[in-house]
Structure 1
Amino acid sequence: MMRRFFPLIWITLAATVLMFTSCGGVKTKNQYASQDSLALSYANNFKVVKDARGYDCHVVTQKKDKKVDDHFRLTFRDSISDVSMSSSEMEIPIPCKRIICLSSTQLTYFFALDYIDPIVGTNSSRRLFHKGMTQRINSGKVKRVGKQGNFNLELIASLQPDVIFVSPFKRGGYASLKQLGIPLIPMAAYSEETPLGRAEWVKFISLFIGKEKEATVQFDQIAKEYNRLTQLTKEVKERPTVFSGKLRSGIWYVPGGNSFYAHYFRDAGAEYVFKDQYTGARPLDFETVYAKCLDADYWRLLLPEPVGYNRQMLIKEDERYGDFDAFNRDHVFMCNIRSKPFYEENAMKPHIVLSDYIHIFHPELIPEYKPYFYEPLPNE
């Protein structure tokens, strides 16, 4: 009797030991075996796993020399339970009924999904072009709650938001908001290095407002069109050179050679002048930019200048701008955010931005196209 029972004990113990010695892999596998990860093709800075009760979300941001993983739980309202969570996690009922967005770049995704009803507050830093949101602000349905470092905490508390979307790239300014006990959701879309990576964040936003299917359909259409356009430029034999920006307080902030903007230029059939591995912008002096960009074919500007900004106004800022070949050949093109809704639309219109660039660099590829954001810098 004992001889038959003794091996059985060892078999059981061995199986138990095997399970715990490899518990990291087994636990992860079991945790997600019956769950579905949100399908992402381009975005790298968020991950979502769905189960019967809702979503486990992770947003990854780079802060100084380390990556920060913000984890929170979205739970369907009809599945809310009294199950407690660890102090490092947040449980948010969805769909959210009251939302505050602290930048127009966050509103972009709500605009694209044509669903702004849950928005009850936004920041006070920029005029909006979106008519529906402007009307809601003017009518008092959406409150301006201040901006970083000067939030109206009493107003924010009175709005009783389910969540506040914040930028993880702002330095400070959110400590006071945390004291209100309202979940702060980091929007790290602008750390994505590709245009489609930014656009895919519409799937993230959609989870909060019950628009998952609509977001997937819309993003798939955008990605299809963007990729179709990139195919048009793959075989171009002549790729014009391009540089970007201008002096700001004596510094020229130049997008890196592996930056978001550099990806756009390459996809549009152009050659970006700076061929380094920087993913962000770096400060350079005028002389460095001058030496590198003097003979470039095109000059791209994204600027907040008075409506009517033109060549004479640009050259008045610094006479040396007149030395650039792109300036002398009338190859300066711009998007003036004072007159174009760039920041509240571009993230969800990468195919439109790309079309603008292609129209500038290779107009023969899309001859009937009319630019939306970018246009030649007017002569007067």
Structure 2
Amino acid sequence: MSPRRLLEIYLHFRSIILISFIGVTACAPSSSDDKPNNYKTAGDAAAFPHKVQAEYAEGFRISYHQNYKLLEILKPFQDKVDTIRYSLVQKELEENINVNNTYEIAIPVQSMIATSVTHIALTDMLKANDILAGVTGGEYVYNRKVRQRIRRGATADLPGGELNMEKVLELNPDLLMISGGQSSELDKYRVLMDAGIDLVVNAEWLETTPLGKAEWVKVLAALLNKEELANRKFEEVARRYHSLKDTVNAGGNKPLVINNMPYKGTWFVPGGGSFTARYLKDAGAAYPWSDSAESGGLRKAFEAVYEQGLKADIWLNPGSAKTREAITARDERFRDFKPFRRGEIYHNYRRSSESGANDYWEKGVVRPDVVLADLIKIFHPGTLPDHELYFYQQVK
């Protein structure tokens, strides 16, 4: 079923179904940083004093109008480029505003279910973890405050995999945030949309630059009326990222870097147009497949990467292997690699847990400046003498 048809069904049911919202867990008074934007209403109009705009992200666009915000997800799914349009309307004006060909969402959102740990990174950056009515796969959550909420029952832990629709209906959040995969996935959420639960597609994972991924915090900010805080937080990250990038791009040595680990004889490496390759470039490294335009993974024969491993200077993220012994247990030929002989192997498991949580895939999404600092420290140790590795650590 097409997104347009789902929109028609959703708007039809929204007009005839009475929605009862769950109460939001009480919390301590917010600091000035935590407060949503102040807005003024005049009749049926709302004025938004603070605005966000996408500068690096290519997957969304936000515009501001007299009485609503228009959020457009430009490529919500991997298999389609059809734009999904959302009209974000202040709760007290909801009955008076109708924007054609949009999904209407009442703002500010006060409760949300996150279906990816990257969504938790957004709420944490905006000091809004209290809106998390539920998360999927709680064992993979690294954030300490959110884990505490799960333990005391303030945030429900929904099993990973197929979303438990009955549990979501029971929690009755304002919003369900999903990660766009295939467009057919929208059909799975029809019952929730018919019940008045708003759904937003977060396509951050399709971005090809680190700052583009991090900028999706502005999408949640628009939903929470926290644009001022998002602008300030993101600008701090972007400014530091560019400053770090400038420290290594003036020239000089560029160590050769390989990454990942083969699986059943095939070695998948990031394409030259991927966000991983962008990190390597910005951190001042040479990458064997930097000329590839692919933004996804490249399928390489073992021998093709083995040839590069013999002369590479550094090996990043060797699969799940956390020790040198675990690496050679996979294949004794890895002993031939120059990074293995020199001990220049690093993985991003420093902030991880036994349950499988890894902060690199959580906080790292909104703090690309810290990831970049780690990589520069690894590639050019003398450039950042005071920086201690945060997400990465050396394989011993």
What is the TM-score when the length of structure 2 is the normalising length?
0.80
Name the SS for the 2:74 alignment partner: strand
**Which residues of structure 2 form unaligned runs of 5+?**
1-47
Tell me by how many angstroms 1:286 deviates.
1.1
Distance 1:276 1:127 in 2: 32
Letter aligned with residue 301 of structure 1: N
Percent identity of paired positions between Structure 1 and Structure 2? 28
- Residue 201 of structure 1 is matched in structure 2 by 216
Letter aligned with residue 87 of structure 2: R
The answer to whether the 8 Å contact 1:38/1:50 transfers is: no
Tell me by how many angstroms 1:259 deviates.
1.1
Distance 2:201 2:79 in 1: 18
Q: How many aligned residue pairs are there? A: 340
Distance 2:288 2:97 in 1: 56
- Residue 322 of structure 1 is matched in structure 2 by 335
CA gap 1:78/1:133 in 2 versus in 1, 3 angstroms: same
Name the SS for the 1:239 alignment partner: coil
- Residue 369 of structure 2 is matched in structure 1 by 351
- Residue 168 of structure 1 is matched in structure 2 by 180
Tell me by how many angstroms 1:61 deviates.
1.8
The answer to whether the 8 Å contact 1:101/1:164 transfers is: yes
Please give the root-mean-square deviation of Cα atoms over the aligned residues, in Å.
2.2
Where does structure 1 differ by over 6 angstroms across 4 or more consecutive aligned residues?
34-37
The answer to which of 282-291 and 229-238 deviates more is 282-291
**Which residues of structure 1 form unaligned runs of 5+?**
1-33
Tell me by how many angstroms 1:226 deviates.
0.6
Matched, 1:286 2:298: no
Q: Deviations over 1:291-334 (max 9, x none)?
A: 344311111006445xxx21011111111222211111111111
1:157 to 169, 172, 191: 169
Q: Deviations over 1:52-98 (max 9, x none)?
A: 32211111227566412111111111322344454x42111001111
Name the SS for the 1:114 alignment partner: coil
CA gap 1:125/1:135 in 2 versus in 1, 3 angstroms: closer
CA gap 1:98/1:36 in 2 versus in 1, 3 angstroms: closer
Name the SS for the 2:73 alignment partner: strand
Matched, 1:80 2:60: no
Matches within 5 A, 1:262-273: 262-273=277-288
Name the SS for the 2:386 alignment partner: coil
Name the SS for the 2:238 alignment partner: helix
Tell me by how many angstroms 1:171 deviates.
7.6
Matches within 5 A, 1:175-186: 175-181=187-193, 182-186=197-201
Rg bigger for which structure? 1
Letter aligned with residue 60 of structure 1: L
1:313 to 326, 331, 334: 326
- Residue 47 of structure 1 is matched in structure 2 by 61
CA gap 1:331/1:170 in 2 versus in 1, 3 angstroms: farther
Distance 2:183 2:138 in 1: 16
Matches within 5 A, 1:1-380: 38-61=52-75, 63=77, 66-86=80-100, 88-124=101-137, 126-148=139-161, 150-169=162-181, 174-181=186-193, 182-274=197-289, 275-301=291-317, 303-304=319-320, 309-336=322-349, 338-339=352-353, 340-378=358-396
Distance 2:371 2:281 in 1: 13
